[in-house]
Structure 1
Amino acid sequence: MHLFVDNLTNVDFSYLDHQRGLVGETWLANAALDGALDNQGMVCDFGVVKKTLRHWLDDQLDHRLLVPTLAPALTLTHKDGNISLEWLLASGEQISVSGPEQAFALVESDKINAENVARWSVQQLASSFPASVEQLKLSFEDEQIQDAFYHYSHGLKKHQGNCQRIAHGHRSRIQIFVEGNRNKQLEQEWAQRWKDIYLGTREDLRQGDKESKHNLVFAYQAQQGDFTLELPASACEILDCDTTVEQLAQYIATTLAEKHPGSEIKVRAYEGLGKGAIASAKQ
């Protein structure tokens, strides 16, 4: 017998890629189970399936940095409950990240993609279901977005939950209105501007790195521990505010209003799938 659960949940995270660098991503998760019927006439109760899988995905993938442990570009060390890593980019530049173990997902693969993460996840979940379940399948897919979107990573040190992790991210759509009219050209410009970007808060820059033209180092202490991220300056945009979606929407609106004086700008900025903020500005 075959069971399926489509659109089970979504996960927001970042991952390391040899070409693209630090990539913010959002995936939809789907599940399928094969097995024999139990004494209730079920392979497995849907409530158990949803609860088990959602909890594991939320705990082990969501708001983490996914690291392919078999990649030759990776150097990784564990010490006292913390992880430090260096990631070599195809350009010869490097990304360095350190933080508590719970901020990382160490995926046994040479590359992060939907198929490899699904395979690894199933291995981790092997003992989580009753004997009637003979096979578990997971699949991840992108949200179908017809218009502009960008991939960004960030960290929110003041957040009480997992958003405080310095390298997690989202794949997000963007909608921009000028005087009430949708402007797809501006949307595409911001999608290009924030393609595989790290959005950093200026106060999190280490003092000696504020004028660097090559690498930037962001560091802060949060509730979960100490975090540090170093990456090429060309992959960053520095903001004078925290990078909550509310403040990102306002940042885009204010920036555009300065370039379009007299016009009312409205920005509908998403954070991953189906949620976000709306901000307006006019000068």
Structure 2
Amino acid sequence: MQLFVDNLTVIDCSLLTSEKGITGESFNVDLILGGNLNDESMIFDFGLVKKAIKKIIDDEVDHKLVIPSHNKGLKVNDCGINQQVDFSYADSKHVFLNSPKQAFVFMDTDEITKDTIKQYLEEKILKLLPSNITSIELNLHHEVIDGASFRYSHGLKKHYGNCQRIVHGHRSRIKILHNLERQAHLEELWCERWENIYLGTEEDIVALDCVSLSPSALQHINDAYVIFSYIAPQGKFDLAILKNEVEILPVDTTIENISDYVANQVAQLHDLDNVKVHAYEGIGKGAISS
């Protein structure tokens, strides 16, 4: 017998991949549990499914950077509370990080894919379920978007939750309207501009001597990189990333500020009045600015 829950939760995270480096992702998660009926004539109470399994998924991967531990471009230094991560990808590009360990999740693979995350979570969850449950199947799938989409990563140092982690991300849509009419060509332009982008905050840019990156990172970083650093409730976060993979905003990269930034940019660049932007942070949530 099987029990299913569609749209159990959403995973928002970033991945390290050999092709793209850092890339943001958002997945809807569906669940199927197989097993025998318990003393309540249930496989598992729906209320417990939503609380217990969602919590495991949130704790394991949500708002984290997902890292392939067997990738040949990866180097990791354990610094106690923090870890230093150096990652080489795509024609000798590099990204360098220093973050509290809770901001990372390592998976036993050389490349991170949807199936890698699915298998990792299925193994973690099944171990924590009652003995009458004999199987679990997760379906991770993208939101169906009627138009263009983009992937971005960011971090919010003032956030008390997991959004403070300096590299977590989303796969998002955007709606741009002029005089209440949707402008698909402008949406496509912004999605091209921001595909696999890191959105950084200007005031978080620091000099190289302010960060706690690895010795090899300190030797490798040059003028092609921009360096971000901040201290948040979970600890110290540092990131060095190539400038051509970043857009720097003059404000914190909350979704409210992102929507306002895009609305103002569209109005200025295209000399338009009465612009409205619906900016999405992953799936089914966002902010509207005019």
Q: Does 1:277 align with 2:287?
A: yes
CA contact (8 A) 2:30 2:139 kept: yes
| SS in structure 2 of the partner of residue 110 of structure 1 | coil
Could you tell me which residue of structure 2 aligns to residue 157 of structure 1? 157
Distance 1:113 1:23 in 2: 11
Q: Does 1:107 align with 2:75?
A: no
- Provide TM-score, normalisation by structure 2: 0.92
5+ residue gaps in structure 1?
none
Distance 2:272 2:67 in 1: 46
| SS in structure 2 of the partner of residue 126 of structure 1 | helix
Moved more, 122-131 or 143-152: 122-131
Distance 2:36 2:286 in 1: 42
- Provide TM-score, normalisation by structure 1: 0.94
Could you tell me which residue of structure 2 aligns to residue 258 of structure 1? 268
Could you tell me which residue of structure 2 aligns to residue 18 of structure 1? 18
Report the Cα offset of residue 262 of structure 1: 5.0
Alignment of 1:1-283 (within 5 A): 1-207=1-207, 213-261=223-271, 263-280=273-290
1:29-77 Cα distance to aligned partner (Å, 9 max, x none): 1111111222222222222222111111112211111111111121112
One-letter identity of the residue aligned with 1:231: I
Alpha carbon RMSD of aligned pairs, Å?
1.4
Report the Cα offset of residue 112 of structure 1: 1.3
One-letter identity of the residue aligned with 1:39: D
Could you tell me which residue of structure 1 aligns to residue 218 of structure 2? none
| SS in structure 1 of the partner of residue 126 of structure 2 | coil
Distance 1:123 1:77 in 2: 26
5+ residue gaps in structure 2?
210-221
Segments of 4+ in structure 1 off by > 3 A? none
Distance 2:272 2:186 in 1: 17
Q: Sequence identity, in percent?
A: 40
CA contact (8 A) 1:115 1:139 kept: no
One-letter identity of the residue aligned with 1:232: L
Distance 1:228 1:181 in 2: 41
CA contact (8 A) 2:259 2:279 kept: yes
Distance 1:9 1:72 in 2: 32
Distance 2:270 2:245 in 1: 26
1:222-253 Cα distance to aligned partner (Å, 9 max, x none): 11100011111110001111100010011111
Moved more, 239-248 or 35-44: 35-44
Distance 1:213 1:175 in 2: 35
| SS in structure 2 of the partner of residue 38 of structure 1 | coil
CA contact (8 A) 1:114 1:139 kept: no
Distance 1:121 1:229 in 2: 27
One-letter identity of the residue aligned with 1:271: E
CA contact (8 A) 2:43 2:133 kept: yes
**Residues 188 and 8 (structure 1 numbering): CA distance in 2 closer, same or farther, change over 3 Å?**
same
1:96-146 Cα distance to aligned partner (Å, 9 max, x none): 111101111112222111111111112222321111001112221111112
One-letter identity of the residue aligned with 2:60: Q
CA contact (8 A) 2:266 2:272 kept: no
Distance 1:37 1:124 in 2: 22
